[in-house]
Amino acid sequence: MSEVGDECEAIDQSVLASLRELQEDGEPDIVAEVGGLFIKYSPEKISAIEQSVEKGDAKGLQMAAHSLKSSSAYVGALGLSNLSKELEMMGRSQALQGAKVKADLLKSEYRRVLAALEAEIGSGKRT
């Protein structure tokens, strides 16, 4: 396992706490709903980032990374959001040197985020 940290660090709990404040009685768990959507739709964003890096498609990288940046921040995956932002900027400036290494880091962080979100949703934490 990497020395980046454990699953708890992959998700900023204060972001999830803010989401939970929006929870309405009798409604489905908001963290499970938002987390589930992230889990469902993020693989295509990761794939688009990988394909853009492989093809040297700066515009495609910028767009895919921008989308992942926003959605990962919304679920509290701030490390993943920051890596996405770096890739977005690489795409925007068309400076793709080092993008493969950055994309590999992003994939590693993404796996940590998925594990943490799945644990969070599975635990049904409610405050």
What residue segments make up the domains of the chain, in order of their start? 7-122
Q: Is CATH 1.20.120.160 correct for 7-122?
A: yes
Residue 6 dihedral angles phi and psi, to the nearest 5°: -90, 180
Mean pLDDT for 106-127 is 86
The tens digit of pLDDT for each residue in 81-95 reads: 999 999 999 999 999
Q: What is the pLDDT of residue 5?
A: 44
Residue 61 in contact with residue 91, Cβ under 8 Å?
yes
Report the predicted TM-score, pTM, of the whole model to 2 decimal places.
0.88
Q: Which of 111, 11, 104, 108 lies closest to 49, judged by CA?
A: 104
